[in-house]
């Protein structure tokens, strides 16, 4: 994992823009094999000094989804960022990816044949057999006379 940090001091805070890149291993949603892919997240950390000891994360409704406010005491030498990076990965990435299928209905990641239900779903010209069975349960519509044709609406008489 690599990170780039740009720190800008202000009168009361230290503003840090972080860009973190690395790799992540997930389970494939199709075959359950391990998939390794790259991730890149950006976050902004606003650091404020406090007189008391310790580190305190602040919840602020005015902050954006990628922004965090931390108050640090004089005893703090390092700010742990693991949970911030993990939170941004969870918010920005699909943790159960489902790779696409190629033209032969094989997974583009592992080259395994897709399940039949997936192949039917992918082919838009075919009707899913489950929908056909539901269509058979639907009541046939009653023959309604056309309102545009009055001679068909009324029975013919002498």
Q: How does pLDDT run across 9-25, given as a tens digit for each residue?
A: 988 889 999 999 999 98
Domain co-membership, 112 together with 75: no
Instruction: Give residue 138's pLDDT.
Output: 75
As for how many domains the chain has, the answer is 2
Pair 27, 72 in one domain:
yes
Residue for token digits 């005893």?
Answer: 75
Residue 149 forms part of a structural domain: no
- Residue 147 lies inside a defined structural domain of this protein: no
Q: Are residues 62 and 31 part of one domain?
A: yes
Residues 62 and 123 in one domain: no
pTM (predicted TM-score):
0.59
Domain boundaries, position 129: 99-142
> How many Å is the maximal CA-CA distance in the chain?
107
Is 79 exposed, middle or buried (CB count within 10 Å of its CB: 0-12, 13-18, 19+)? middle
For residues 19 and 82, membership in a common domain is answered with: yes
* Residue 150 maps to a domain: no
Q: Quick one: pLDDT at residue 12? A: 86
105: alpha, beta or left? (left if phi > 0; alpha if psi -120 to 50): left
Angle at 30 between CA 29 and CA 35, to 5 degrees: 60
């Amino acid at each position: 994992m690599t990170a780039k940090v740009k720190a800008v001091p202000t009168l009361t805070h230290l503003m840090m823009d972080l860009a973190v890149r690395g790799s992540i291993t997930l389970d494939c949603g199709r075959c359950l094999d391990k998939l390794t892919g790259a991730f890149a997240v950006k976050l902004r950390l606003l650091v404020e000094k406090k007189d008391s000891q310790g580190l305190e994360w602040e919840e602020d409704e005015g902050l954006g989804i990628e922004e965090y406010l931390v108050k640090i005491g004089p005893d703090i030498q390092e700010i742990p960022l693991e949970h911030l990076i993990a939170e941004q990965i969870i918010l920005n990435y699909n943790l159960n990816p489902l790779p696409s299928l190629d033209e032969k209905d094989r997974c583009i990641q592992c080259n395994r044949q897709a399940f039949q239900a997936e192949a039917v779903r992918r082919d838009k010209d075919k009707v899913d057999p489950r929908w056909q069975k539901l269509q058979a349960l639907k009541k046939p519509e009653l023959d309604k006379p056309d309102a545009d044709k009055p001679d068909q609406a009324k029975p013919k008489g002498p």
